Structure 1
Amino acid sequence: MDRTAQTITDGIYNLWFENGGWAQLSAEVFDRGPARIARAMTSSSPGFSPSAGDRASWSGIYFANPTHAGLSARDVAIDTVGGGAPAWLVEGKGDRSTWAIHIHGLGSPRAGTLRGVQIAADLGYTSLVISYRNDGGGPTAGSGRSSLGVTEVEDAEAAVHYAMQNGAQRIVLFGWSMGATIALQLVDRARYHGIVAGVVLESPVLDWVAVIKANCVRSGLPAATGILAIPWLALRPLSHMVGLPTTIPLRDLDWVERAAELTVPTLIIHGTRDDSAPIRVSQVLHDLRPDLVDLEVFTAGHTLSWNSDPERWRSTVTEWLSAHVNSDGR
């Protein structure tokens, strides 16, 4: 492969090929000269064999489906206002009272959360791996555009109801990137106090203004350019003109400003190389609420902490859940 900052990064990753198929890569990097490196394929999609010149996307989405992740799952549909939202149900072993709901981020498929589902399964939780409106798998609503978690939370709430109707007495929320925005809105709803027992957030979006500025910089624009986008999100009729189903209440989604309102034990995992959702926001939230928010820092990019060190990620989450959710012995 071409030598890039991504392809020489520590950890295990996946290549998703534009002509179909995927290939998992080993952690070891072999030097092939100043412009090339090689990594061994450890697994690939059935019947797939890449050829020289094939184009592929570098990805942290390591598992294509539950079976590939070693999980036994069945397809279910969550009833939402827009119709059935497909989900994977991974039934827990032993006590069925604790469920985990896994919420993926913007532009990522639900398969990306399977990295966390494995841990929930090992702990005996029943897992619900959800889709939501306009994510490419769930129902299409309006113009098909994302509302940055503001309306998507209604579909995640339907998943919480599904879990409660099927025996969940307490729920752990796993939120990846924008999935964290959705998860924290659920936690904020009084009717779930006492039901949501813990929150695990990977590369969370805790402040959309900071994220918009960071992504401007990543695109080669001044951070201040992001300020120009704010009225188009927060004001009518501007938000309507760009196809958003609603205005985006950015202040309501700023969890640094709302740090005092947090009520549920929260584990944040964040990478120092995250140029999409700045780690400094997570650090500030941790500093404001060290009584409730734990922060584990990895040398990794956005949503790539698991890939950079799977064993450490697994042990971190397992130990935290065991201490904060399973501490009563259940």
Structure 2
Amino acid sequence: MGDSNLRNIVRQPFRGLQHQPAKRTVRWSAVGAITGALAGTALAVIPTLASIFARTVVTPDPKPTEDVHVYNYWPRRGTSGHGLIELSITHQTTVRGQYALVFDEGNGVARIGAVTATDRKRDTVTRIVEEVYSGDLAQTVRGRWAGFVWPTPTEAGYAFRNIDIPVDDGLAPAWFIKPKRPSQHSNTWLITVHGRGSKRNEGLRMMRVAQRMGMPGLLVSYRNDGDAPDARDRKFGLGATEWPDIEAAILYALNNGATSVVLGGFSMGGAVSLQVMYRSALSSYIRGLVLVGPVIDWMDVLRHQAQINKLPHIAGKLGSWLIESPWGKTITGLASPVDLRRLDWVARSDDITHPILILHSEHDDFVPIGPSAQLAAKNRQLVSLVRFQDARHTREWNVDPERFDSAMLTWLHVLLTGPQQPRLSLSSPKTAE
């Protein structure tokens, strides 16, 4: 899932439920504003609010809002790309760790580091600029805070190969990162599945662990993310329709040297990965899943977003119904309704078939930790939960990379040195690179 902000809903409808939350949540904050303004006619606007809510959930946002104001940039002389930057204070920009500032409509990217000063009177925060990868930061006045740290594997220091994975309606580009030192785990690939509104560079935060384990990394794209072919209805299925693209990535791995895979899913990528686990004919080749800030129960996420943005309860409930019902297709644009109950893994905890490690922050303001904790409590045999503090949505690595890596390394070591799961025979032809 991505993050953007919905402040101007009166002038412009919801454009996307994105993966880097803005000052409050994402664009949903504008729902609270319009709801208050129209309180006297609440009953009349409820169908409209529900319709906007439903469309937002399933509609990709090609241009996430750049809602972080840039007030000053002081480059360090003699050191290209280093310096200090003064930004508007948001719930994200004051949190410790490394992040990306995306600006100039996505054409510019800078890596931002530690906080050096906070001015509550001016409502600004000053942070270190560690690197400017592209764009002219001195000319920008606003940007978007993002959880990825490196735009491509090159900036992260990894040699990689571009590959294309055959999916419905075309080819989905991916990055293949070979381990520097092969190990006994080199036949198990780590396939990362990014969140809604994000791209495959989100998975680079897992590659340090993959390298230490000697595991190849495959960072994939999937329908509607701006890199892979769009779905025919150009709508998100919240995991219910995206999973065949990840199944195609598994098949590619198996046809190119892998004997098994581990899926690494972020946010909605976690929902996608769980669907692959349960529905794919290649499920038995999956050794386990590492899920970061995952959507375990979409109904819970939608209730949370409706509540914090002061949507009338009935409007939020009606919006969810529009996504689920065949009657809502004319409003949402979905080719088929989404069965949200099929995406509720707390209720379906007995259907979990693979070991799962969940890394989730107590302060995730977009996808609450509650369902992750409930799933771990209901299926202790297969589901492990590591709780983080302070991190916002899917920023667990950013806030505490050492703890993130340690938890993932320990879990993978136990997983991969244990007994192998049964294997299926492949009947599909070898895919071309």
TM-score band w.r.t. shorter chain? over 0.9
Q: Match of 1:234?
A: 324
Structure 2 gaps of 5+ residues are 1-86, 421-433
- The residue type paired with residue 130 of structure 2 is T
Q: 1:36 aligns with which of 85, 106, 124?
A: 124
- The residue type paired with residue 401 of structure 2 is P
RCO higher in 1 or 2 (8 Å CA, sep ≥ 6)?
A: 2
- How many Å apart are 1:306 and its aligned residue? 0.8
- The residue type paired with residue 173 of structure 2 is P
CA distance in 2, matches of 1:111, 1:71: 12
- Contact 2:116-2:127 at 8 Å conserved across structures: yes
- How many Å apart are 1:166 and its aligned residue? 1.0
Q: 2:162 aligns with which of 75, 87, 109?
A: 75
- How many Å apart are 1:285 and its aligned residue? 0.5
Q: Match of 2:392?
A: 301
Moved more, 58-67 or 140-149: 140-149
Q: 2:142 aligns with which of 34, 55, 75?
A: 55
Q: 1:142 to 1:189 in 2, by over 3 A?
A: closer
Q: 1:94 aligns with which of 182, 188, 194?
A: 182
CA distance in 2, matches of 1:76, 1:113: 16
Q: 1:236 to 1:165 in 2, by over 3 A?
A: same
Q: Match of 1:310?
A: 401
- How many Å apart are 1:65 and its aligned residue? 0.6
Identity among equivalent pairs (%): 35
Deviation string, structure 1 residues 160-181 (Cα, Å, up to 9, x no partner) = 1111111211110001011111
- Contact 2:194-2:269 at 8 Å conserved across structures: yes
- How many Å apart are 1:256 and its aligned residue? 0.5
CA distance in 1, matches of 2:236, 2:194: 13
- Contact 1:109-1:135 at 8 Å conserved across structures: yes
Q: 2:369 aligns with which of 268, 279, 282?
A: 279
- How many Å apart are 1:201 and its aligned residue? 0.1
Q: 1:198 to 1:31 in 2, by over 3 A?
A: same
What's the TM-score, normalizing by structure 2?
0.72
- How many Å apart are 1:66 and its aligned residue? 0.9
Q: Does 1:138 align with 2:138?
A: no
Q: 1:86 to 1:118 in 2, by over 3 A?
A: same
Deviation string, structure 1 residues 54-75 (Cα, Å, up to 9, x no partner) = 2111111111011111211111
Structure 1 gaps of 5+ residues are none
Q: Does 1:45 align with 2:133?
A: yes
Q: What secondary structure is seen at the aligned counterpart in 1 of 2:115?
A: coil
- How many Å apart are 1:31 and its aligned residue? 3.0
- Contact 1:218-1:276 at 8 Å conserved across structures: no
**CA-atom RMSD in angstroms:** 1.9
Q: What secondary structure is seen at the aligned counterpart in 2 of 1:106?
A: coil
Moved over 6 A (4+): none
Q: Does 1:154 align with 2:244?
A: yes
Larger Rg: 2
- How many Å apart are 1:237 and its aligned residue? 3.4
Q: What secondary structure is seen at the aligned counterpart in 1 of 2:114?
A: coil
- Contact 1:209-1:226 at 8 Å conserved across structures: no
- Give the aligned length: 328
Deviation string, structure 1 residues 68-109 (Cα, Å, up to 9, x no partner) = 112111111111121111111112342531111110111111
Q: What secondary structure is seen at the aligned counterpart in 2 of 1:27?
A: strand
CA distance in 2, matches of 1:109, 1:33: 34
Q: 1:66 aligns with which of 145, 148, 153?
A: 153
- How many Å apart are 1:213 and its aligned residue? 1.4
Moved more, 6-15 or 256-265: 6-15
Q: Match of 1:244?
A: 334
